[in-house]
Structure 1
Amino acid sequence: MNQEPTNKEQYQRLVGRLIYLTHTRPDIAYAVSVVSQFMHSPSVSHRNVVDRILRYLKSAPGKGLMFSKNGDLEVVRYTDADWAGSITDRHSTSGYFTFVGGNLVTWRSKKQNVVSRSSAEAEYRGMAHGVCELLWIRRLLT
Structure 2
Amino acid sequence: MVLSQRKYTLDILGESGLHGCRPSNFPIEQNHRLRADSTGSLVDAAHYRRLVGRLLYLTVTRPDITYVVNTLSQFVAMPRQEHMDAAIRVLLYLKGAPGRGLLLPKEGSLTLTAYCDADWGGCLTTRRSCTGYYISLGGAPVSWRTKKQSVVSRSSAEAEYRAMAVTVSELLWLRWLLFELGSQRKHATPLFCDNQAALHIAANPVYHERTKHVEMDCYFVRERMHSNEIAPRKIHTKVQLADLFTKELGKDRFHLLLGKLGVVDLHPPT
Q: 1:51 to 1:133 in 2, by over 3 A?
A: same
The alignment status of 1:78 with 2:118, answered yes or no, reads: no
Counterpart residue identity of residue 23, structure 1: V
Structure 2 residue aligned with 1:39: 76
What is the SS of the residue equivalent to 1:45? helix
TM-score, length of structure 1 as denominator length: 0.59
Alignment of 1:96-107 (within 5 A): 97-99=135-137, 103-107=140-144
Q: How many residues align?
A: 117
Kindly provide the CA deviation profile for residues 31-71 of structure 1, in whole angstroms up to 9, marking residues without a partner as x. 11111110110012211111111011012233332357x7x
Structure 2 residue aligned with 1:59: 96
TM-score, length of structure 2 as denominator length: 0.34
Q: 1:133 to 1:105 in 2, by over 3 A?
A: same
What percentage of residue pairs aligned between the two structures are identical? 35
Kindly provide the CA deviation profile for residues 87-122 of structure 1, in whole angstroms up to 9, marking residues without a partner as x. xxxxxxx9661439x852213698224xxxxxxxx9
Q: Which of the residues 77, 86, 93 maps onto 1:49?
A: 86
Counterpart residue identity of residue 142, structure 2: V
Alignment of 1:107-126 (within 5 A): 107=144, 111-113=160-162
Structure 2 residue aligned with 1:134: 174
8 Å CA contact 2:63, 2:144 repeated in 1: no
Q: CA RMSD in A?
A: 4.0
8 Å CA contact 1:24, 1:66 repeated in 2: no
Structure 2 residue aligned with 1:23: 60
Bigger relative contact order (CA 8 A; separation at least 6): 2
**C-alpha distance in 1, partners of 2:91/2:42?**
20
Counterpart residue identity of residue 137, structure 2: F
- Displaced runs of 4+ in structure 1, greater than 4 A? 125-128, 135-141
